[in-house]
Amino acid sequence: MKIDSSLMFEPVKVGAMADQLEEAGYDGAYTFEGQSDPFISVAAAAMNTQRMDLMTSIAVAFARNPMNLAYLGNDLQNLSGGRFVLGLGAQVKAHIERRFSMPWSKPASRMREMVLAIKTIWDCWQTGDKLRFEGEFYHHTLMSPIFSPPPNEHGLPKIFVAGVGPVMTEVAAEVGDGYFLHPFNTGKSMDELSMAAIDRGLGKAGKARADYSVSAQVITATGLDEESMQAAVLSARNQIAFYASTPAYLPVLACHGWEELQGEANKLTREGNWAELTRLIDDDILNTFAVVGTPAEVAAQIATRFKGRVDRISPVVYQPDLVLLTELREQIAAAL
């Protein structure tokens, strides 16, 4: 199992941090569409590393179009020397329409078409064949030689798709090369929702599980002293509460009979009552979603929950520093 870490820093700091994570032995690192563009951060990381896989986890697919993403993916594959993974996620309707001012409809069907369109564009560039993709949402039928990059000597990037619900997860397995398991997951939801849907999607496409990658992120509350541990636990409760308030993540709660939590949490977020929101997450819920303890303790929990079931693991930690991340990677590697 490969061990990854996050590059959730402003782009001016990403290059140095990526170099340090690679030196610490991490197999990969991912950027996130938060307060900056994830592709800019990948570019900075690519120019400061030689070995690590570099991923967007995730870039918001529906804020862009297939041609735009095809160019970005091709350029970053070249810049990284063949180490780039294009990770895409749908986001939710409110953000797509009101933050990005882009259309929202049939997200799973749209994602399926998005991935197929990007791959069709890449194939056009690799082979020189005429570009012809005509779908319900995207149409790409023009590619002049002056705008067509030469064949990528590093091969085509992999496309990973993130999902929570079974329909999107099935699509991810059918058309993608890998799956990003959302941090809002439990052992039970992974089996009943994610893995079952992945098997269905792979079956539709006639693909073997051995040829498909599952990358899991796990909320990790850990620290090197009592003060940092308490801060990490509070952060984990906050993160779980925020995800629980989002209607799209209700199926995960339903696996445990916690459907009512979603309504309560959603009401508190609309009211801006963040303190009360965090208090909804008791120790049972915390330990069901997160791994909690010293680096050695969380490493053992990660091994129990994910070993033999996923191909990549990424602990999501509160305010990571290099000393903690180095210790955490060493402990996880030993536990696996």
Average pLDDT over residues 247-264: 92
Which is higher by pLDDT, 9 or 55? 55
| pLDDT score at 199 | 97
- What structural domains and CATH numbers belong to the chain? 2-222+305-335 (3.20.20.30)
Q: Cα 9 to chain center, whole Å?
A: 16
**Geometric angle at alpha carbon 179, from 174 and 180, rounded to 5°:** 150
CB 202 within 8 A of CB 212: yes
3-state DSSP assignment of residue 269: helix
Tell me which residue has tokens 């994610």.
194
Mean pLDDT of the chain: 95
| pLDDT score at 10 | 84
| pLDDT score at 275 | 83
| pLDDT score at 228 | 94
| pLDDT score at 322 | 92
| pLDDT score at 274 | 85
pLDDT, tens digit, for every residue of 32-90? 998 999 999 999 999 999 999 999 999 999 999 999 999 999 999 999 999 999 999 99
| pLDDT score at 7 | 92
pLDDT > 90 in the chain, percent: 92
| pLDDT score at 215 | 98
Q: 3-state secondary structure string, 270-296?
A: HHCCHHHHHHCCCHHHHHHHCEECCHH
Q: What is the pTM of this model?
A: 0.94
Q: Please measure the distance between the N-terminal and C-terminal CA atoms of the chain and give it in whole angstroms.
A: 8
| pLDDT score at 248 | 85
| pLDDT score at 36 | 93
pLDDT > 70 in the chain, percent: 100
Q: Label residues 51-69 b or e (16+ Cβ within 10 Å = b).
A: ebbbbbbbbbbbbbbbbeb
| pLDDT score at 320 | 79
Q: Does residue 2 register a pLDDT over 90?
A: yes
Q: Give the H/E segment covering residue 179.
A: strand 178-181
pLDDT, tens digit, for every residue of 151-169? 999 999 999 999 988 999 9
The pLDDT-based confidence of 27 (bands split at 50, 70, 90) is very high
Q: Does residue 8 register a pLDDT over 90?
A: no
The pLDDT-based confidence of 20 (bands split at 50, 70, 90) is very high
Q: Give the distance between the most distant pair of CA atoms in the chain.
A: 61
CB 79 within 8 A of CB 110: no
The pLDDT-based confidence of 319 (bands split at 50, 70, 90) is confident
Pairing, β 139-140 against β 133-134:
antiparallel
The pLDDT-based confidence of 172 (bands split at 50, 70, 90) is very high
pLDDT, tens digit, for every residue of 232-244? 999 999 999 999 9
Q: Does residue 318 register a pLDDT over 90?
A: no
Q: Does residue 306 register a pLDDT over 90?
A: yes
220: which strand partners? 291, 317
The pLDDT-based confidence of 30 (bands split at 50, 70, 90) is very high
One-letter amino acid identity for 316?
V
89: which strand partners? 60
